[in-house]
Amino acid sequence: MEEWHDVLDIKPAIGRNVICYCPKWNSLGYVVAIWDGKKFTYYEEPNDCFDECVEMWSLFYEAD
């Protein structure tokens, strides 16, 4: 099982794909996003509020 990190404790590497736990953001509660050095973001983000909803993150391993 992957290790989940609290957003207040540890930040991922800049530009690395991560899975974000964000239960207040959408009905699934998860989004694949990146840490841009200041906030969590993703390409389809409809506004600038996503980062505020991220509670935890984990590494997301892409398929080969």
Tokens 């906030």, residue?
39
> Does residue 32 sit within a domain?
yes
Q: Could you tell me the sign of the dihedral formed by the alpha carbons of 61, 46, 27, 6, in that order?
A: positive
Which range of residues forms the domain containing residue 54?
A: 5-59
For the segment 1-9, the average pLDDT, to the nearest whole number, is: 84
State the total domains in the chain. Answer: 1
Tokens 């506004």, residue?
47
> Does residue 64 sit within a domain?
no
pLDDT confidence of residue 46: 86
| pLDDT tens string 6-57 | 998 999 999 989 999 999 999 999 999 999 999 999 998 888 899 999 999 9
> Does residue 37 sit within a domain?
yes
Q: Is the pLDDT of residue 64 over 70?
A: no
Q: Using 50, 70 and 90 to split pLDDT, how confident is the model at 1?
A: very low
Residue 52 in 3-state DSSP?
helix
